[in-house]
Every structure is written in C-alpha cells, then in structure tokens.
Amino acid sequence: MGAAGSKLEKALGDQFPEGERYFGLENFGNTCYCNSVLQALYFCVPFREQLLEYYSNYKNGADAEENLLICLADLFTQISSQKKKTGVIAPKRFVQRLKKQNELFRSYMHQDAHEFLNFLLNELVDILEKEARTAKNEAETSPPEKVANGPKNPQANGVQKEPLVTWVHKNFQGILTNETRCLRCETVTARDETFFDLSLDIEQNSSITSCLKNFSSTETLNAEDNFFCDKCCSLQEAQKRMKIKKPPHILVIHLKRFKYIEQLGRYKKLSYRVVFPLELKLSNTVEDADSEYSLFAVVVHVGSGPNHGHYVSLVKSHNHWLFFDDENVEMIDESAVQTFFGSAQEYSSNTDHGYILFYESLGANKNS
C-alpha cells in the first residue's frame, strides 16, 4: 500500500484535508462486506465524532466488558489518530468480536453488507440503551442526599417509559407512518414505525426518486386483503400508503438487488440501472416540506450473483470522492459515481452496482 498511499497523497497534494486519514482495511478472507460498510460509517462524520467522543469518555470510566461498540470505537480511534495520512489497518479485533457475537458472520461464505449494517446499528443501540438503563438504575439507587435536585419522582407502575434516544438514533432513525383509510367510513388509521434504513424495490431504468414514489404509493386492500376497520367493526376495502413522517439526519437507502426467483428456486441479482443523484430531494414526506440530502457514500456490490462477489465503497470526503477496495484507497472523479448506477441492458459486462446509499441531510435540522 506504501506506493498507493503516497500516490493518493500526491494526487491530493496540498488539498489533503487537515487532520483527515484515508486508510484501507485488511480483508480476512471474506470480510469485504464489513470493510465497505465500515468505511461508509467512518465518513459519516457526525456518527464518527460522536463515537470518538463516546470512546474518550468511556476510556476515562471503568473498564467494562468488551463489546462491538467498543471494538468499533477503538478501530475508528486507531484510524483517526494515525501519524501517517494514508495506509492500511487490520480491523482484527472488530471482526473477531463480530464473529464471536453472531454466527451468521462466522462462515467463509459471501455475506450481505446490508444485513451486516442492520445488525451493527441495532447492536450499537442495544449496548447504548443497556448502558443508559444501568446508569439510570445506579442514579436511582444512590442515597437521596447525593441527588442534587431533591428527590426524583418515582415512576408509577405501568407508565410507559419514554424510549431512549441514543446518538445512533439521532443520526440514522427516521419515522414512517403507515396510513390506512377505510373506503366505507373514510376513517384513517395511522401507525408509526421507526427505521434506520429504507429498503426499496427497484425497476429497470429507474431512479431513486421513482423508487421512493413507489414506496409511498397508495395500495388498495380488497378481497382477501380486506382491512378490519375498528369503526365499522368489520372487514372493509381500504387504501394504504407509507409516508415518511420524520426524515432521518442520515438517510440510508438499500436497493433490493437480490430477488428470489420461484422458477429458479434461488436469488438472482438484478443489475438494473437505478440512477442515484448526488443531491436528493425527499418530497413524499408528511410535512410536505422538501428535505434535501447530499450523497456521501455508496456501498457497491461487484459480481453477478448474491452468493459470491465483492464489495467496495465510494466515499465523499471534503469534496473529493475516494474509492475504497479493502486495502486499496484511490481518488476518483465525481463523474465516475455514475458508472455504478447499473446496466441498462439485461446482460452486461459491468457488474459493479450501487447497493447501499448514504445521504446526509443538508437541512437546518442537523441538531434536532
């Protein structure tokens, strides 16, 4: 990597961002799915900063058991505190912990980057919530004279506790609302659900905007899909649609490129051309105010099928685009991002397709 690293430094020259580090990650046989997602998360700057801050506070505290959050924080700290600007790091501790924790990632099979991302974010949230609960219990069981603001109000039994909002939630969590309108009495039933990423069905020669429109399109429920309306107390025809109630600060979009084909009895990769813009407007939100987003990372699946292949990532950092392929890091031109949209023809030699997209909100709601 020495030569490649210095090549990257030469390419950036005096434009090399102050304090930034561009390090490739060593691959342990089949860990490209992990490396590509970790690079995307590392260049998700608000997430990285909060993770590093968490770790510096943690290190000052008592030594708790090792978990995935600590291993990730340790890895990001290692990268950000390197003396050199470029190089390679082996994320060994993180990968060992991941395999120990989840047997899904233990085999030498090709793993799914989206499954890994989902598992990781949920795991981080679980750890942070557990820590917050422990801290709260310790505070509540401490002798009353230590509590500065007088005695706390004990919570009545059966009162719904506010869900904890961790810094992972603050970055990635959005809220969807599922609206069902009974066509007989016109009553609308709305149910909210949270999400860390949106999985979108894709079609040939489409765009993220059209995939999002389909995602929020109205669907009629009838015949055996009739909806039980509480007001009519019976099954009725209804219309259902999903809307984004609260867009997240970091919008993660997963393109469903692997489709189960009944006749084949297996998954097939869809190499469809799906255009993802560098700037995205989210219009189908409940507030109807456009939320504007900017693309900063793409996890790319390389290969013709779901069970083999490779993952790389494209990352935007300080207005430069970089290409991360395990140990190798190089600069690419912004226009090269288009080559990962997919193929307009069914059979094409190009097998490098955008799979997970990371957009950051440009809105004023950064700290909300």
Q: Which residues are catalytic?
A: 32, 310
* DSSP-derived secondary structure for 235-275: EE-EEEEEEEEE--SEEEEEE--EEEETTTTEEEE--B-EE
Query: Distance between CA atoms of 79 and 91, rounded to whole angstroms?
Result: 10
Question: Which letter does DSSP use for residue 184 in this model?
Answer: T
Helix pair 68-80, 92-101: axis angle to 10 deg: 170
Query: Distance between CA atoms of 353 and 355, rounded to whole angstroms?
Result: 6
By residue count, the chain amounts to 368
